[in-house]
Amino acid sequence: MIKGYIIFIAFVGLLFIVPGCGEGDDIEDAQPTDTITINPSTSTISDDMPSTTTHTQYFHIVVKNANGIPLRNIKLTIEFIWALPDIYGVVQLYHGDTKVDSPFNALTDDNGAYILRMDFDSGLLEYNGTLQVTSGSAYASADFAVDTG
């Protein structure tokens, strides 16, 4: 009987604790005073090979407030003009391991960061574009180019 009572009290206690979990997890846009940074901010790939090759580039996107504190659960809109989720696209963006259209939405993690994977083709190709990340009125960009050397 006492064992059942203890289990009941523990269960009721959990009912009071669980609703408190996750507070502050609201998804928000960045505020006008927040900053978005993309690393690398510029990337140029030179490839003079006579055939195309697929490569992977990672971009580290971070959102911080005016005091330099990383912000989590910030909604990001990410786009790159050449990105297409099909076999004929020269650039492919990924959300995790999933191919996505451009633009797409993502969230910053507990460190205020989002890691973007970009697969791209080089060799016999020359193209350039700007990776754009927006949230609310905050904006950042990174220039990306592929040339034949």
Residue 137 belongs to domain with CATH number: 2.60.40.10
Q: Is residue 10 part of a domain?
A: no
Which of 4-18, 63-77, 83-97, 103-117 is least confident? 4-18
φ, ψ for residue 38, nearest 5 deg: -125, 130
Q: Is residue 141 part of a domain?
A: yes
Residue 100, both tokens = 């996505």
Task: Kindly tell me if the per-residue pLDDT of 149 is higher than 90.
Answer: no
Q: Is residue 44 part of a domain?
A: yes
Task: Kindly tell me if the per-residue pLDDT of 86 is higher than 80.
Answer: no
pLDDT > 70 fraction of the chain, expressed in percent and rounded: 83
Number of domains in the chain: 1
Residue 111 and residue 103: Cα distance in Å, rounded? 23
Q: Whole-structure pTM over 0.85, yes or no?
A: no
